[in-house]
């Protein structure tokens, strides 16, 4: 029996505020904190999870407990108020399930599946203080208290993950996916365990022998581990450290505001939180967050009432209304191309069961079709209504209002749904976009926009920014297929990845009259069902295409799988069954005498039902940027939640100047990339060349056998190996992807500010170095080896000009103002050249000889400088002890030495016996 919560009485009243996206991030969350109450939280259950009403009970129980603890740990400033639980469409209908509004699995805040990696985690590729993408839980974690207990109480674990997801903070424990060392050096040359706070008590022991730790090269041996006390009452923080410790009930804070002396932040700890958040505590980041900044949501009197109000929503097909510009400026090729892609969208890309309507607008708007449920007959009906004529001025607001009417389908109280808006010009007739946005927000409607040409109104971007939609741009470049790519990307909204068509190839090809163009694409083992090639063209004479499979068989214009639509000038080839793995060759013949521009899109679906294919998604960090604000492109390459590593990821950014810039994306843990080897490839973009829109297309291929699927990691998180937790046995090995290819359109971003966007001014310094580390210490030679990832000239683009490596023996001096410490000179280094930085993403190694030995610690930071003299922020601070430690061999070396000694003794004795026997025999 489902224990239903009461639908929030303030749900409608707060939806306006909840959907204003104050949190600038790649996340599409609609969560908002209002009067200490979090609203619009969406927990979504993955489509393959079997129907289980007990699971719904457990979700309510777990998040009710977490809500109470969140109220306490935020000092009475926040708790969960309204939570929607989205159940799979495969589950049985239930009268208690409400109508789906804005909720989808792909935009949910917390996602639950039946996976095997049960530790809760958050996919967070975003910078410090920015919202993450989603929290991941499994059904077993929620239903099996024994599994859950490994990670601490449900309350502690969920709120720990909420810290990542909502407040954008990082872990404060060492090892695992954090990349943080287990130990660091203190001011007197001593060794401390990485933790927050230093009040956390414990002992350093070898994890296998439980003997005192040996020291090798002035650092504890690899098997040395810090065992926290489970009974000490000296500490109460930090929850972002080891949340399973029962004493931890606070986030760390600075000395001024810490809840207790046992929750004071440890600025010297080399934790991921300190590296990426400029050594700020969790609470310092939280106080800067939109939820609490400037006194927002001050403390309540207490936490007496924190039980969330739950509503249950069933996943159903998407509700979409196309809003198409047919004003006079759309005449000619524009309306033809729009008609082609809308026909392809209706015929091939919208899913059966979705509801689709259509509106056209110029100075006024007309409904071409109310919402209809998509099937074979309604696809044909809608295609017959696609507009072909143009006239009039442009009122985008009129189109929006008519689209809202279509989504409401006669019920003005109906919420949710999405509009797909395509427009090519400035809005010059009321109502205007700005007048309609409040209505869109109040009704919970998301808006995706496609700017058709450089003349399209820049106000279009206000729509996705305000409603959580996406923005795309089609420049009309002769080689751009962005219009088709945008519609294909929008078609995946609300679809399970298991059902999505995966884009493999997309291009617009110029073919001279009377010639043939040949290209190839690859089908890999993870795809092959519903493989389809779609071609669109403009000339009166139809193109002629031949498709050759790896086995040599062909599909041509005599095949039943060859479908030519001469009305829309669209050609479709559908490969029957499961497409053969290997390279497929395509030849396109242009029989006319004129050059033909042929748009080509190749897609395929998962080859095994219920098994995830390799997918690529791409998105900008924001819709609008004004330099020197930072703009990041994120590309995720994965197979389900398993990351694909070492892929060749190239992003081509089309600029307003008409040229393109290529970005080689990295998953290195440096520059814009937060976590190494997590399947999220990230890069800054700084090569602005004017006000207007920038669109991006991403192409991903394997790099031989180096590209692997890594089942010991999860996407957006990294390694799931956590030495703090009991071993689960041997980790699964990486497996080669084989040859594959994918494409993705990452949408568009608008640069705002004529001077800032011109590209004529050097507005960006090199990126902050966040992975500085000490890799070796030699007491005898007074040598310390430093290593870090090279930044660029402009963040991570281009080569920096030089480095400054600063040194001191006082962490506080370095922390407060590094320029008051020693700026090292080249003569101190036996390896590394300060004046010759490597290319961005490469590893830099510097070996420095320090002045003295003794009971002291040396601390270092690095600053990169570009050709304009701009300096990067100082790097994370690292420490190295020059105290004398008895350099005992590690236990492994000791064991090997012992074995070797025994063998020597055995050999000597054996030889002696042999000699004696020979002597006796000789006598």
| 8 Å CB contact between 429 and 400 | no
Indicate the DSSP class of residue 898.
H
Torsion angle in degrees (nearest 10) through CA of 621, 482, 419, 364: 120
Share of the chain above pLDDT 70, in %: 92
Mode of pairing for the β-strands spanning 355-361 and 319-325: parallel
pLDDT digits 0-9 by tens, 482-538: 999 999 999 998 888 988 999 999 999 999 999 999 999 999 999 999 999 999 999
Smallest Cα–Cα separation from 473: which of 748, 119, 817?
Answer: 748
The whole-number pLDDT of residue 923 equals 42
CA–CA dist 347, 565 (Å, integer) = 11
Cβ atoms < 10 Å from Cβ of 796? 28
Pick the CATH number of 773-881 from 3.40.50.1100, 2.60.40.10, 3.10.129.10, 3.40.50.300: 2.60.40.10
Output the six-digit token pair for 250: 């606070």
Q: Thinking of the domain 614-751, which architecture would CATH place it in?
A: Sandwich (2.60)
- Could you give phi then psi for residue 286, rounded to 5 degrees? -65, -40
Q: Tokens 């990426």 — which residue?
A: 276
DSSP labels, 564-590: EETTTTEEEEE--SBPPSEEEEEEEE-
- 779: exposed, middle or buried (Cβ count in 10 Å: 0-12, 13-18, 19+): middle
Residue 412's pLDDT is what?
86
Is the pLDDT assigned to residue 720 strictly greater than 90?
no
Range with the lowest mean pLDDT among 709-713, 716-720, 723-727, 852-856?
Answer: 723-727
Q: Tell me the fold of 498-610.
A: Jelly Rolls (2.60.120)
**Rounded Cα–Cα distance for residues 325 and 360 (Å):** 6
Q: How far apart are CA 913 and CA 923, in angstroms?
A: 15
460: three-class secondary structure by DSSP: helix
pLDDT of residue 731: 75
Rg for the chain (alpha carbons), in Å? 30
Look at residue 27 and tell me whether its pLDDT is greater than 70: no
pLDDT given at position 299 = 97
DSSP letter (8 states) at residue 177: G
pLDDT single digits (tens) 671-699: 999 999 999 999 999 999 999 999 999 99
**CA gap 820, 861 in Å, rounded:** 12
In this prediction, residue 728 has a pLDDT band, given cuts at 50, 70 and 90, of low
- Tell me the three-class secondary structure of 136-152, residue by residue: EEEHHHHHCHHHHHCCC
CA atoms within a 13 Å half-sphere pointing along the CA-CB vector of 635: 32
Q: Helices H, strands E: what count in the chain?
A: 15, 52
Q: Residue 350: pLDDT above 90? A: yes
Alpha carbons 409 and 743: distance in angstroms, whole number: 36
Q: Quote the CA–CA distance of 758 and 248 in Å, as a whole number.
A: 51
Q: Which residue has the tokens 């300060």?
A: 834
Instruction: Give yes or no for residue 402 having a pLDDT over 50.
Output: yes
| pLDDT value, residue 915 | 42
Q: Residue 769: which of 880, 632, 878, 685 has the closest Cα?
A: 878
Give the tokens for residue 221: 């041996």
Please provide the DSSP assignment of 58-77 as one string.
HHHHHHHHHHHHHHHHTTSS
Task: Name every residue whose Cβ is closer than 8 Å to that of residue 332 and which is 6 or more positions away in sequence.
Answer: none
pLDDT (average), residues 229-237:
89
Average pLDDT rounded to a whole number, residues 624-653? 97
Q: Which two tokens stand for residue 909?
A: 């004795």
Query: What is the model's pLDDT at position 842?
Result: 94
Query: Token pair 């399930």 is at which residue?
Result: 97
Cis peptide before 431 (omega within 30 of 0): yes
Query: Which residue, among 542, 103, 2, 501, has the nearest Cα to 316 in the 3D structure?
Result: 103
Rounded to the nearest 10 degrees, how much is the dihedral formed by the CA atoms of 105, 108, 111, 113?
0
Q: Residue 794: beta bridge partners?
A: 797
Q: What 3-state DSSP class applies to 575?
A: coil
CB atoms within 10 A of CB 95: 5
The arithmetic mean of pLDDT across residues 751-779, rounded, is 94
> H or E stretch including 353?
none
Work out the angle at residue 381's Cα, subtended by the Cα atoms of residues 100 and 505, and round it to the nearest 5 degrees: 75
Cα 810 to Cα 184: distance, rounded to the nearest angstrom: 14
Please give the pLDDT value at position 9.
34
Distance CA 696, CA 118 (A): 35
Q: How far apart are CA 351 and CA 574, in angstroms?
A: 16
- Mean pLDDT of all residues in the chain? 91
Please classify residue 351 by burial: count the beta carbons closer than 10 Å to its beta carbon, then call 0-12 exposed, 13-18 middle and 19+ buried.
Answer: middle
Residues with Cβ within 8 Å of residue 295, at least 6 apart in sequence:
none
Residue 636's H or E segment, with its range, is strand 632-639
Tokens of 118: 């049960």
How far apart (Å, rounded) are the C-alpha atoms in residues 637 and 517?
A: 30
Torsion, Cα of 341, 342, 348, 351 (10° steps): 140
DSSP 820: G
Find out whether 241 and 156 touch, Cβ atoms under 8 Å: no
Q: What is the dihedral of CA 101, 104, 107, 108, to 10 degrees?
A: 90
Q: What is the pLDDT of residue 843?
A: 95
Q: What is the pTM of this model?
A: 0.91
According to DSSP, the β-strands at 857-865 and 783-789 are unpaired
- Say if residue 238's pLDDT is above 70: yes
Cα–Cα–Cα angle for 612, 616, 622, rounded to 5 degrees: 130
Distance (Å) of CA 772 to CA 219, 276, 431: 17, 11, 54
Q: Tokens for 675? A: 């976590």
- pLDDT tens across 149-197, in order? 999 999 999 999 999 999 999 999 999 889 999 999 998 899 999 999 9
Same fold yes or no, 317-469 and 614-751: no
- Tell which residue, 521, 512, 508, 478, has the closest CA to residue 599: 508
Q: Is the pLDDT of residue 41 over 70?
A: yes
State whether the Cα torsion 345-347-349-350 is positive or negative.
positive
- Judge residue 540's burial from the number of C-beta atoms within 10 Å of its C-beta, 0-12 exposed, 13-18 middle, 19 or more buried: exposed
Q: Which residues, 6 or more positions from 522, have their beta carbon under 8 angstroms from its beta carbon?
A: 504, 582, 583, 584, 739, 740, 741
| Chain centre to alpha carbon of residue 284 | 24
The reported pLDDT for the residue numbered 675 is 94
- Looking at residue 155, what is its pLDDT? 97
Residue 892 tokens, joined: 């492994």
516 in Cβ contact with 590 (< 8 Å)? yes
Q: What's the CATH number for 317-469?
A: 3.40.50.410
Q: Where are the domains of the chain?
A: 11-168+289-314, 170-278, 317-469, 498-610, 614-751, 773-881, 891-923
Mean pLDDT of 473-483: 94
Flag whether pLDDT at 442 surpasses 50: yes
**With contact defined as beta carbons under 8 Å apart, do 11 and 82 qualify?**
yes
**Per-residue confidence (pLDDT) for residue 896, from 0 to 100:** 47
Residue 564: strand, helix, or coil: strand
């Amino acid at each position: 029996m489902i224990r239903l919560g009461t639908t929030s009485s303030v749900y409608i009243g707060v939806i306006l505020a909840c959907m204003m996206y104050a949190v600038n991030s790649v996340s599409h969350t609609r969560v908002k904190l209002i009067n200490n109450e979090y609203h619009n939280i969406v927990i979504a259950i993955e489509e393959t999870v079997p129907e289980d009403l007990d699971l719904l009970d457990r979700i309510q129980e777990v998040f009710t407990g977490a809500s109470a603890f969140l109220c306490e740990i935020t000092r009475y400033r926040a708790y969960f108020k309204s939570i929607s639980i989205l159940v799979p469409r495969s589950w049985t209908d239930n009268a208690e399930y409400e109508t789906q509004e804005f909720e989808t699995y792909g935009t949910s805040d917390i996602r639950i599946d039946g996976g095997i990696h049960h530790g809760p985690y958050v996919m967070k590729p975003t910078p410090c203080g920015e919202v993450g993408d989603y929290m991941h839980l499994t059904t077993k974690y929620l239903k099996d208290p024994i599994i859950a207990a490994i990670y601490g109480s449900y309350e502690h674990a969920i709120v720990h993950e909420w810290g990542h997801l909502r407040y954008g903070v990082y872990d404060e424990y060492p090892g695992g996916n954090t990349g943080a060392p287990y130990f660091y050096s203190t001011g007197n040359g001593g060794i401390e365990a990485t933790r927050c706070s230093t009040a956390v008590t414990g002992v350093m022991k070898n994890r296998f022998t439980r003997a005192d730790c040996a020291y090798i090269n002035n650092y504890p041996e690899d098997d040395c581990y810090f065992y926290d006390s489970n009974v000490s009452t000296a500490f109460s923080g930090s929850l972002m450290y080891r949340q399973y410790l029962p004493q931890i009930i606070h986030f760390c804070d600075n000395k001024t505001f810490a809840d207790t002396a046992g929750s004071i932040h440890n600025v010297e700890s080399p934790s991921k939180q300190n590296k990426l958040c400029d050594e700020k505590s969790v609470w310092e980041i939280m106080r800067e967050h939109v939820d609490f900044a400037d006194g927002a949501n001050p403390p309540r009197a207490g936490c007496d009432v924190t039980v969330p109000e739950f509503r249950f929503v069933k996943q159903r097909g998407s509700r979409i209304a196309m809003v198409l510009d047919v004003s006079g400026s759309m005449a000619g090729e524009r309306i033809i191309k729009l008609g082609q892609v809308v026909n392809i969208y209706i015929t091939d890309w919208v899913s059966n069961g979705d509801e689709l309507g259509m509106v056209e607008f110029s100075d006024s708007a007309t409904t071409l079709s109310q919402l209809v449920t998509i099937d074979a007959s309604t696809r044909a009906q809608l295609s017959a209504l696609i507009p072909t004529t143009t006239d009039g001025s442009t009122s985008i607001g009129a189109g929006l209002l008519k689209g809202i009417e279509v989504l409401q389908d006669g019920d003005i109280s109906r919420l949710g749904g999405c509009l797909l808006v395509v427009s090519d010009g400035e809005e010059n007739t009321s109502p205007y976009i700005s007048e309609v946005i409040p209505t869109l927000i109040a009704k919970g409607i998301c808006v995706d926009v496609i700017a058709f040409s450089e003349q399209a109104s820049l106000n279009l971007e206000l729509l996705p920014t305000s409603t959580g939609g996406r923005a795309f741009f089609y420049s009309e470049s002769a080689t751009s297929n962005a219009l088709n790519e945008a519609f294909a990307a929008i078609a995946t909204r609300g679809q399970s990845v298991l059902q999505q068509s995966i884009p493999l190839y997309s291009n617009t090809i110029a073919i001279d009259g009377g010639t043939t163009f040949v290209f190839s694409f690859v089908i890999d083992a993870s795809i092959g069902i519903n493989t389809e090639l779609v071609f669109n063209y403009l000339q009166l004479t139809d193109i002629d295409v031949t498709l050759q499979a790896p086995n040599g068989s062909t599909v041509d214009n005599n095949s039943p799988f060859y479908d030519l639509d001469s009305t829309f000038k669209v050609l479709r080839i559908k490969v029957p069954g499961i497409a053969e793995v290997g390279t497929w060759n395509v030849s396109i013949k242009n029989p006319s005498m004129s050059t033909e521009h042929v748009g080509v899109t190749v897609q395929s679906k998962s080859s095994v039902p219920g098994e995830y294919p390799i997918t690529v998604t791409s998105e900008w960090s924001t819709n609008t940027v004004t330099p020197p604000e930072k703009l990041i492109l994120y590309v995720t390459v994965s197979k389900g939640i398993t990351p694909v590593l070492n892929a060749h990821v190239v992003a081509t950014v089309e600029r307003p100047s008409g040229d393109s810039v290529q970005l080689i994306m990295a998953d290195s843990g440096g520059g814009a990339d937060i976590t190494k080897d997590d399947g999220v490839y990230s890069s800054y973009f700084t090569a602005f060349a004017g006000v207007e829109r920038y669109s991006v297309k991403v192409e991903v291929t394997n790099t031989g056998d180096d590209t692997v699927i890594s089942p010991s990691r999860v996407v957006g998180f990294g390694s799931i190996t956590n030495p703090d937790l009991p071993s689960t046995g041997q980790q699964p090995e990486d497996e080669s992807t084989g040859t594959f290819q994918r494409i993705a359109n990452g949408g568009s971003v608008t640069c705002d500010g004529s001077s800032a966007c011109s590209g004529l001014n050097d507005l960006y310094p090199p990126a902050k170095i966040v992975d500085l580390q000490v890799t070796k210490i030699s007491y005898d030679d007074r040598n310390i080896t430093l290593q870090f990832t090279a930044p660029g000239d402009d963040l991570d683009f281009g080569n920096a000009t030089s480095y400054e490596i600063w040194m001191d023996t006082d962490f506080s001096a370095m922390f407060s103002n590094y320029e008051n410490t020693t700026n090292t000179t080249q003569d101190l280094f036996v390896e590394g050249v300060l004046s010759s930085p490597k290319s961005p993403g490469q590893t830099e190694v510097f070996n420095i000889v320090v002045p003295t030995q003794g009971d002291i610690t040396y601390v270092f930071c690095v600053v990169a400088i570009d050709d304009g003299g701009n300096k990067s922020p100082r790097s994370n601070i690292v420490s190295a002890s020059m105290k004398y430690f008895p350099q005992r061999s590690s236990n492994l070396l000791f064991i090997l030495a012992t074995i070797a000694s025994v063998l020597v003794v055995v050999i000597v004795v054996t030889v002696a016996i042999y000699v004696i026997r020979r002597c006796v025999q000789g006598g």
